[in-house]
Structure 1
Amino acid sequence: MNMDVTYKTFTCGEKSERATIVAFENQDIQTWLMIVVHTEHSIVIIDQHHQPIGTVTLEFIAKRLVESSGEDILQKHELLPIQCVKKSDPFPVEQRTLSVVTDGERIVGVITQRMLQTVQDQDRATLSLIFDSAYEGIVIIDRNQTITSMNQSYRDFLGGLKERDVIGRDVTSVIDNTELHQVVKTGIPERGKVQTIQGQKMVVHRLPIWQEGEIVGAVGMLIFEGMTELHRILQHEVASKAGAVNTEREGAVQTFETMIGKSASIQRVKSLARKASRTKASVVIQGESGTGKELFAQGIHHMSSRAEGPFVAINCSAFPENLLESELFGYEGGAFTDARKGGRRGKFEQAHGGTLFLDEVSEMSSSMQAKILRILETKEVVRIGSEQVIHSDFRIVAATNKDLKSLVQEGQFRQDLFYRLHVIRLTVPPLRERKEDIPKLLGFHMERLAQEYGIEKKAISEEAMQLLLQYRWPGNVRELVNVVDYVVTMTDGQHVLVDHLPSRLQALS
């Protein structure tokens, strides 16, 4: 999960523990034993000037008892050593003795080895969280080009790999077209290089790791998820300086790079979709309404060998059967009443050399399914009112919000068409299963719509954001965009409060 992390460096005063202060008065060993047994805190021994001079522990006193009589006097030079640090000093990275924390002449506490270990464990946990929650993919290899670390973002980009799938493996066997192992050999850093991973162009850094004058490894970072993101950033910067309005156009080219979301679940689907785009096989994209199935279809098309060809989409549930047939197959002039003079090419013809996206494919009638199957098998189309056979070279990507396999078992979807379409299946997760993407989706669409409407960008209050994160989003991303449109339009001030949200979200408070 991607999340915001604040890393804090503590001072000695912030992490000091209470201490028992004892004046040195030439006490015997038995007296010191009573003192250490009856105190819960570390002991700081002070001299007649109230200056800290040493400490004792139960283990130390027990050893002295074994070596001598309990009536022996513990001498000042026998005390365990300490080190004094100021309250405002940075918390120590390491220490060999008890640290006594002072504020001027006053002792305010101590830093024990136990506390040092606790803070170090917390630091390691925080750094690990930062490493794994960074949006950028990060991989580290040793001098033998073996992967020693790879963060969650990178593993998600590669298809949701587990640590056990990458740690200990040669980097060249895990990451496409990597040159990280060459950096280990040369020691020459490479910044802002373009690398193709799973067919997608990425902007990467490759940096050597030096230790005591030797290269001990290298770190690789995915800085931008594809060239499109870099171009968008540069265009936004230019537009901002020029005072231009930069809006997302409806129907603009959608790629995996432009899809918003870094959650593990959406990254896994994107990785599978990138692999699917390298093949000619049919793809079925399954997911609830509003999850962005057509965006994945477009992404597959624009990353495939058919990218220069057309992307043609049709919603099979939007037309009655007779009209759907004419939309898909086309017709000759005079084929039926109101037919366009000269006829019209159908979607199968229009998709020649490209991709045909059949949305809501499960809504087709059984007879229409049979006709579709025939065309998929022969790649030959006959327009309504014609006998001429037209060859069309297209790839099919279909989408549905239903379980096609269950529909086959229920007799509502043809089994032969199911196997023809269902070569590769992608399942797009609903928004409620990738809530970590919600803030970024909200931010993107808030800015986009503010620019489109020519109004000042608004910020969402913490309370409103909590409700937006709690909400189940039955309409998924489509519903989220609708909510953003509502609050951008209806909120007068610069801050979106709970009262500005639609009533269905306010009801959660």
Structure 2
Amino acid sequence: MFNIGQMQLNNSFTLVEPHTSLIHIKNELLEHDFVFVSGETYYGISNSEYNLIAIDEDSLPVINWIEKVNWLPSKVSTINELSTSTTDWRRPVLIKDKDKGDIIGVVTANQWFQQLEGENKKLSSYFYTLAETINDAVTAVDQEGTVICWNSVAERTYKIKRENILGQKIGEHFKAESLILHHILNEGRTVRGAYHRPNNDTHVLINASPIIKDNTIIGGIAIERDITGFVRLNEELDSSLPSLIDQEKPFDSIIGVSSEIQQALQIAQKVASADIPVLLTGEPGTGKEMLAHAIHYGGSKNTGPFVTVNCSTIPSGLLEAELFGYQEGVFTSDRKVGQAGKIEQACNGTLFLEEVDKMPLDIQEKFLNYVEHQSFYRVGGSELITTNTRIIASTSQPLESMAKDGEFNETLYYRLTVINIDIPPLRKRTEDIIKLVQQFIHEFSSKYKKPIPEITPKVMTLLMNYDWPGNIRELRNVIERFIILNDENIITLHHLPKNIVDTYSGDNSKVPSQNETSLKEHAPIKEEALIIEEALRKTYGNKSAAAKLLGISRGTLYNKIKEYELN
């Protein structure tokens, strides 16, 4: 740990034979800091000890004087051996070259102490600089729980100045039994990503580890990330999130004429009143949350709350407390402060678990127990709480293969898939795009107080042919974008995002020419017939939809079909 390789050795020394006279030793001490009597054992005399030999006869051999006064020997060591516990620092230590064995210098106890003190200050500087560089609160305590490090982020997080907590027991500022560091000191276990609430107003995620020396815990260090803002924002979103559908006619709010979406809606309507878990699968943005709302408001628990938990956005350390709540006094010294979890909040209603595949396995085990018994314990609680809450979960991942690979609790998987409703991606239900576009145009025109614009056939063709990797959510965002940007009451190519235009810009069979804005602009007869055929194909023969796509009336379309003898 210490950089003793760069230690300055004292080179002012000489070696003498055991029978060297004291007068010679005295003379050598006038020129050197140390004289060492060599042999099987080395004895060192420093020039500060000159007066001790001055009182004896000059002719006396030095070895006789050493035996007479019981002079302590000096240890011979290499630089790397100095830090071992066997080094005797009562006398100066001779340092030998580890390869050649030659004596190369001298180290005294005072020099060694100064070296250790300098290295300790250097390490402390590194440690405190690191603590200040981290964007999280850093706390370190010794084995007694006394605070030895408290960085500036900790000051801001807990509103406690460094000078008011350093050197004090951490339990004087926080309730001892709720402090992670106390568990660290008592049990020696590490903590990763644990939710923690050290006082009423603060929520943190904590990583903590014991400091161990020679198999003994000598302290603990914790790094805490303040997630108070996240928790409050999550609470605000939960309280302000509007319903996505018409609660009176929930399933009518979901647009879809394709056979796949109609089949999904039929299953959803049948199970809405059945108090069993439902798993919604499908790509991101396909409308799983909207269908969950429809099942809730179309079922027997429609008068109860609809509560959402997104397992992918809530940190794993917080998710357990978010779902199950926590008991009074567990995370804070205030015995009156507790929190009901989302399961309790959704009692007699529906709990919607978004991205359930992101739920950690240990929490899955506890959640499975709730699904099986409709009861659970709060975090830190001993009271069994029973609630009647319906569970709807969603995932965009292959949950079955995750369960087989041990990445998802297999029993929980089977519990959640009593009813599995898969929502097809938008690229497989292009016949729904026209109605979705119309709905979103009306929605955002009303929201931004703008007249309902006309959409050119070119724009509609692009919207029909685009793959929509973000599905309905992406389509909705695109419509909102061009409603905001539109000032001409007509939607043209430049209102669309560049990625959509670029996707089909080189395909003339799918994209009308740059100058074409309407079928009425006298396209050649053959080309007009091809355009009508393409529109009918894209709308699966739906003539009303094809007419809207082409920007003409349904009567005109019928006349054109008859004129060109189209099937």
Q: TM-score, normalised by structure 1?
A: 0.50
TM-score, normalised via structure 2 length: 0.45
Larger Rg: 2
Q: Highest relative contact order (Cα 8 Å, sep 6+), 1 or 2?
A: 1
